[in-house]
Structure 1
Amino acid sequence: MNGILPLYKPTGITSADAVYHARKILGIKKIGHSGTLDPNVDGVLPLAIGAGTKAVPQLMASGKVYTGEITLGFATTTEDLDGEVVDKTPLTQPFTADQLDAALTAWTGNITQIPPMFSAVKVNGRRLYEYARAGETVKRPERQATVSQFTRTDEPVFSATDGTQRFRFEVHVSKGTYIRTLAVDVGKTLGVAAVMSQLTRVKSGGFTLKQAVSIEQLKAHAAAGTLADVIQPIDIAFADLPQVDLTVEQFEAISHGRFLSLDQQTPRVRLHFAGVLKAIYRREDDQYRPDLMFLANEKNV
């Protein structure tokens, strides 16, 4: 069983929990995911199965799209609603829509982020959340990210009672972008405390929320013997690369790791034999050389 499964992860479980459920349902241990979702975040979690695990870097490189909500007026230890409130800046009047839009625009493009303390980033061999839970502080490394689109998607709602203002957004980002930190940074631009109050990943690895399969649906497909309807072939992760259909002689050559001379000019190509992805080759010195090999790959299910 080899392929890519766009799974829907609900809130309340970790990404590791989702992988555990998939392993149990599919009866296969070799399953990985392409980008962790926090327990309080739901959405698309592409799972790589069998030989598909080699495609994880490609899936992650495709970028992600989220929808969510930012609340202005207070901040927490975790930058979302799971943490303890550590700062309050009650709003006496709401920001205008133009002010909010300008703050989002300020965080569009190539940006620098400092990962939140409650994150899985490693510093000196320990994850940041381990320092945070121990009450320790440590210098956090800066990270570069790209935000290609960051827009408000509804009318902001102001509460004079608790001095907060909330609004929904959609954001398109590169891998490794912390949306929680984006919410906090938007607040800093406006001069107030802020928190990410809700988040859903609606696209990842090229898969949308509509394509994602729930754990219960996966169970039903497994029971009905229709897993082929939901587990996509590995080459879907490389759909943007030109496809080359190999001759018997060419397949024999790549089976021994040999280089190929192809009538192509692109940096990478996907090589198929008998309708199945067998390798990704990269161009170097006018020849194509092995990049990723999938020689044992057969039909995905």
Structure 2
Amino acid sequence: MDGILPLWKPKGMTSHDCVMKIRRLFGTRKVGHTGTLDPEVEGVLPICIGQATKIVQFLTETKKIYVAELTLGTSTETEDAYGNIVEEVTVEKIPSLQEIENVLQSFVGEIKQVPPMYSAVKVNGKKLYEYARANETVDRPVRKVFIHDINLLSTEEKSITFRVTCSKGTYIRTLCVDIGEELGYPAHMSFLVREATGEITKEDTITFEEIESASADKRHEFLLPITNGLTHLDTLQVDTETKQKVLNGQKLIKPKIITDTKPFKVMHGERILAIYAVHPNKEQEIKPIRVFSDS
């Protein structure tokens, strides 16, 4: 059983909880998720099963789309609605729609973020939330992320709802705090839902209720092809003779159409054979990064 389960993660479960439950429901240990969602957040969480676990790192690196709500006037330890309040002020003047639009657009492009103390980012081998829980302070690394698109959806009293398309590693909690700061107020993220990971969207998803109501021998029908998680990679089509070399994990002469060292998928017709990249030490060769067994 190989493929991507387009799970709609419910609130109240960690991403690891979802993996454990899917292992039980699908009767396999070869299961991996493609980007952590906090327990309080629901949304698209592609789960790789069987040979699809070989593409976890590539699917994790894709763009994400979120709908978020930020609330002005209050900041919290965790930068979301579940942490202790750090600062609270009266929002005497709600920013105008034009002011909000201008600030949102100022975040489009490459930006720098300081990850929240309550996050899994490691510093000196220890997760930031471990320092936070021990009331220890530590210098947090500045990270560069990319905001592809951000659009205002609605405003209501002190809240602002927007949709954002962003790179891997973007903390939406921190984005909400930074937007609030630009608008002149402390702020926190009061709601978040993930609408898409790469090309896998909310419309593609399956709930645990749907999985559990299906018979065990029908659950494989919920899986998407492995290639659905690799649409962002270029494709190299090979003939039947080369197909066997690829399945054997052989290095190949670099085709003229390959011009850089980015990973690309190797296909024989509609079938995914492997993920290759230009050899780091031999520019005229390509080498396998992942090979999918012949089944």
Specify if TM > 0.5: yes
1:18 is matched with which residue? 18
**Structure 1 CA distance for aligned equivalents of residues 253 and 207 of structure 2:** 42
1:253 is matched with which residue? 245
Range with greater deviation from structure 2 (99-108 or 139-148): 99-108
The AA in structure 1 aligned to 2:131 is Y
Range with greater deviation from structure 2 (257-266 or 79-88): 257-266
1:220 is matched with which residue? 213
1:292 aligns with 2:287: no
Range with greater deviation from structure 2 (56-65 or 72-81): 56-65
The AA in structure 1 aligned to 2:271 is V
Shift of 1:124: 1.2
Shift of 1:218: 1.7
From the superposition, tell whether residues 231 and 152 of structure 1 become closer, same or farther in structure 2 (CA, over 3 Å). same
1:107-126 equivalent positions in 2, closer than 5 A? 107-126=107-126
**Residue 267 of structure 2 is aligned with which of 239, 262, 272?**
272
1:233 is matched with which residue? 225
Shift of 1:265: 3.5
Segments of 5+ residues of structure 2 without an aligned counterpart are none
What is the aligned length?
Answer: 288
TM-score, normalising length: structure 1: 0.89
* Cα deviation digits, residues 13-48 of structure 1 (max 9, x gap): 111111111111001111111110001111000111
**Structure 2 CA distance for aligned equivalents of residues 67 and 90 of structure 1:** 25
Judge conservation of contact 1:32–1:47 (CA < 8 Å) in 2: yes
1:225 alignment partner, SS class: helix
Shift of 1:82: 0.6
1:70 alignment partner, SS class: strand
2:133 is matched with which residue? 133
**Structure 1 CA distance for aligned equivalents of residues 10 and 259 of structure 2:** 39
Shift of 1:150: 1.4
Judge conservation of contact 2:235–2:267 (CA < 8 Å) in 1: no
**Structure 1 CA distance for aligned equivalents of residues 212 and 250 of structure 2:** 39
1:161 is matched with which residue? none
1:90 aligns with 2:90: yes
**Structure 2 CA distance for aligned equivalents of residues 265 and 256 of structure 1:** 18
Segments of 5+ residues of structure 1 without an aligned counterpart are 159-164
From the superposition, tell whether residues 91 and 224 of structure 1 become closer, same or farther in structure 2 (CA, over 3 Å). same
**Structure 2 CA distance for aligned equivalents of residues 266 and 236 of structure 1:** 24
**Structure 2 CA distance for aligned equivalents of residues 91 and 234 of structure 1:** 49
Shift of 1:245: 4.2
The AA in structure 2 aligned to 1:236 is N
**Structure 2 CA distance for aligned equivalents of residues 78 and 212 of structure 1:** 29
2:267 alignment partner, SS class: strand
Shift of 1:63: 0.8
The AA in structure 1 aligned to 2:156 is V
From the superposition, tell whether residues 297 and 122 of structure 1 become closer, same or farther in structure 2 (CA, over 3 Å). farther
**Structure 1 CA distance for aligned equivalents of residues 124 and 270 of structure 2:** 46
**Structure 1 CA distance for aligned equivalents of residues 194 and 259 of structure 2:** 31
TM-score, normalising length: structure 2: 0.91
1:188 is matched with which residue? 181
